[in-house]
Amino acid sequence: MMQVLPTLLSVEKSGRLPVYLQVANQLMTLIRNGTLQPGYRLLSTRQLALMLKVHRRTVVQAYDELLAQGWLESHTGNGTFVAKNLPEIQPSEPKVNGQRVAANLKSAGFQFDVPEYLNRPVLKAGTRLHLDDGFPDPRLAPLEDLSRAYRSQLLNGNPYVRLGYGDTKGSLWLRQELSAYLNETRGLKTTSENILIVRGVIMGIHLTTAGLIKPGDYVAVDSPGWFGANMNFVHAGAKVVEVPVDEYGMDVDALEKICMKQPIRLLYVTSHHHYPTTVALRADRRINLMKLAEKYGFIVFEDDYDYDFHYLSKPLLPLAGADPTGMVLYCGSFTKTISPALRVGYLVGAEDVISYLARFRRIVDRQGDQMLENALAELFKTGVLQRHLRKSVRVYKQRRDTFCELMKTHLNDYVNFQVPDGGMAVWTRFDPAIDLKALAAKALQKDLYFSDGSASNLPPALAGGVRLGFASSNQSELEESVEIMTALI
C-alpha cells in the first residue's frame, strides 16, 4: 500500500482548489471507502512530497487538516496514522439497487415516490421568438431606476438593520406603499397589517393551502384552470372539485349546487382575466359568488395575476373590494408588472389570518429580499412604477391589436379566438385537424416557442386551446412569429 498510495493521489497545481486540500480530500476519500484502514501508517511528509513532486509544507498542511478533523492521529517519533477509533470499512464499490453508482451521483441511495401531479414541464426562456403564456416584456421595465433604488438600499442607512433580519410579513415600507396603491386602484380598504409580502402568487397559494387546508377538505377550482394552483391543493390532500367556466366566467349556479352537496373549504378563482381563457367574471356572478361565500363559509382565494393590464375600460374591481366580512384572500405579484425573475408578490386579507400566515411562512422562508422590497417601495413612492404601468398598458394594447389582426389576416381559417379585453395573451382554439404538438415542435425548430397544449389539462370540449402571449414581443417579432406559424400550417 505504501508504494501504491502515491498512484491513488494526483494533484493539479493550476486548479482552483489549493494543492494541500486536494491531497487532504483524496486521503479522506480513501479512508471513507475503506482503502486506508484504521491504524494504517501513512508515508512521512517528506516521502509523500517527493512522490507527488510538491513542497513538503504542502503535505504537512494536508496532514494537519486531517488531524484537526479527526481522520488522522500522530504519534511523536513514530509517524502519522489513520485514526484507530474510526469504524473498519470493507473496500467496495457503492451500489444502488444493485447498480454501480457513477462518480457523479444520479440516483439516490434511498427510495422515494414522485407524485404524478409534479410531472409538469417547467417553462423556461430560451427561444428568440415566443408566443408565451402571457409574460411581460422586460425591455420595457424601469431597470435603471430599479438598479439605482436597489444600490441605494445596499449602501445607505444602518447596515445592521438594512442587512439583518426583518419582519416576516415583509418590508413595512413596501406594505405601506402597496396598501395605498391597492386602496386607490382596486377599491380595497387595507393597512400595512393586511398585507403579507410573498415571492409570487404560487407562494401565496402554497401558504394558504398549507396553513388553512386539511387533508380531506373540499377545494373548488375553475375548469379549465391553472394547474399550478391545483398542484398545491392535491399536495395538501384536498379533494378538488371543478366548477365549469363559460364566456361569462365561473358558473356560480354550478358552484351553489356543489356547495349543497359537500362543504367547500376554499374556492380558487381568477375573476378578472380567467386563466387560461381570459374571460371576466360577470358582475351578477360576482355578487352571487360573495353571497355564497358568506352563506357557506368558504374562503375565496382571488388570484389577480394581471389586474393592471386591462384595455377596454377601467379594470373590474376585485372581489376583495366588496368583502366586508373578510372571506377573500387577494393575491397578486410584480411578475407581470416587471419580470418573472422579480420574485415579489403580495397576499392581502384580514389582519388575523395574515399574521397567522406570516408565522407559518417562517417554515419555508424566514423572509424575502428586504432590499429588493424596499427598492420597489421607493419606485412606488417616486411614481416610477405607476408611470411604467401606464406606458405598458399603451404598448401592450397596441401589441394585442397587432397580433389579433395578424391572426385574423393569416390564420383565420385555422384558429378561433376572441380579442381579449385585457391580459397579455389570446386564448386561441386551433382547428381540430391540426396536430398542435407537431406544429409546436416544428415551430421550435424555427426558434419560435408556443405551448403545444399538453400542460393545460383541458377538458375534451376545449381540446386544441392554448394561450398565445403577445406582450413580450414587439411588432416585428409578432409578424415573424405569425409568418412561421402560417408557413408551417
**What digits encode the pLDDT tens for the residues 44-59?**
999 889 988 899 999 9
Which among 289, 304, 210, 284 has a CA at the least distance from the CA of 243? 289
Which among 256, 227, 253, 251 has a CA at the least distance from the CA of 240? 227
Angle value at C-alpha 189, between 184 and 194, nearest 5 degrees: 115
- Across the range 350-371, mean pLDDT stands at 89
Using CA atoms, how far apart are residues 424 and 280, in angstroms rounded to an integer?
14
Q: What is the DSSP letter of 138?
A: G
* Structural contact between residues 192 and 176, judged by C-beta atoms closer than 8 angstroms: yes
Which among 192, 150, 146 has a CA at the least distance from the CA of 173? 192
Which pLDDT does position 221 carry in this prediction? Answer: 95
98: pLDDT confidence band, cut at 50, 70 and 90?
very low
Q: Which fold has domain 141-383?
A: Aspartate Aminotransferase; domain 2 (3.40.640)
Which is it for strands 345-348 and 328-333: parallel, antiparallel or unpaired?
antiparallel
Bridge partners (DSSP) of residue 52 are none
Q: Which residue has the cell 411578475?
A: 335
* Structural contact between residues 223 and 459, judged by C-beta atoms closer than 8 angstroms: yes
Using CA atoms, how far apart are residues 296 and 476, in angstroms rounded to an integer?
51
**Cβ contacts of 468 within 8 Å, gap of 6 or more:** 131, 403, 425, 426, 428, 450
Beta strands, E only, 344-474: 345-348, 415-417, 425-430, 448-450, 465-469
Q: Which residues in the chain are classed under CATH 3.90.1150.10? A: 129-135+387-488
Which is it for strands 448-450 and 425-430: parallel, antiparallel or unpaired?
unpaired
* pLDDT surpasses 60 at 100: no
Which pLDDT does position 104 carry in this prediction? Answer: 62
* pLDDT surpasses 50 at 361: yes
pLDDT per residue as tens digits for the range 433-463? 999 999 999 999 999 999 888 766 666 667 7
* pLDDT surpasses 70 at 291: yes
Residue 70, classified by CB atoms within 10 Å of its CB into exposed (0-12), middle (13-18) or buried (19+), is exposed
pLDDT per residue as tens digits for the range 224-250? 888 888 999 999 999 999 999 998 999
Q: Give per-residue burial for 20-54: e unless 16+ CB within 10 Å, then b.
A: bebbbeebbebbeeebbbbebebbebeebbebbeb
Which pLDDT does position 21 carry in this prediction? Answer: 93
Instruction: Return the higher-pLDDT residue of 202 and 339.
Output: 202
Q: Which residues in the chain are classed under CATH 3.40.640.10? A: 141-383
- Across the range 213-234, mean pLDDT stands at 92
Which among 400, 130, 376, 192 has a CA at the least distance from the CA of 278? 400
- Across the range 296-300, mean pLDDT stands at 95
Q: Which residue has the cell 513538503?
A: 56
Q: What mean pLDDT, rounded, does the chain reach?
A: 88
Q: What is the DSSP letter of 451?
A: -
Asked: is 5-82 a CATH 1.10.10.10 domain? The reply is yes
**Cβ contacts of 414 within 8 Å, gap of 6 or more:** 430, 431, 434, 489
Q: Which of 86-90, 224-228, 240-244, 286-290 has the lowest mean pLDDT?
A: 86-90
For 326-347, the DSSP string reads S-EEEEEESTTTT-TT---EEE
pLDDT per residue as tens digits for the range 255-267? 999 999 999 999 9
Which among 448, 430, 343, 425 has a CA at the least distance from the CA of 133? 425
Percent of the chain with pLDDT over 90: 55
Residue 12's identity, in one-letter code, is E
In this structure, what C-alpha cell is assigned to residue 82? 489513520
Which pLDDT does position 1 carry in this prediction? Answer: 59
Which pLDDT does position 456 carry in this prediction? Answer: 63
Q: Which of 16-20, 266-270, 364-368 has the lowest mean pLDDT?
A: 364-368
Which CATH number does the domain 129-135+387-488 belong to among 2.40.50.140, 1.10.3330.10, 3.90.1150.10, 1.10.10.10? 3.90.1150.10
* pLDDT surpasses 60 at 315: yes
- Across the range 91-98, mean pLDDT stands at 54
3-class secondary-structure state, position 446: coil
- Across the range 8-32, mean pLDDT stands at 89
Percent of the chain with pLDDT over 70: 93
Using CA atoms, how far apart are residues 19 and 436, in angstroms rounded to an integer?
56
* Structural contact between residues 183 and 190, judged by C-beta atoms closer than 8 angstroms: yes
3-class secondary-structure state, position 358: helix
- Across the range 157-163, mean pLDDT stands at 78
Q: Which residues in the chain are classed under CATH 1.10.10.10? A: 5-82
2: pLDDT confidence band, cut at 50, 70 and 90?
low
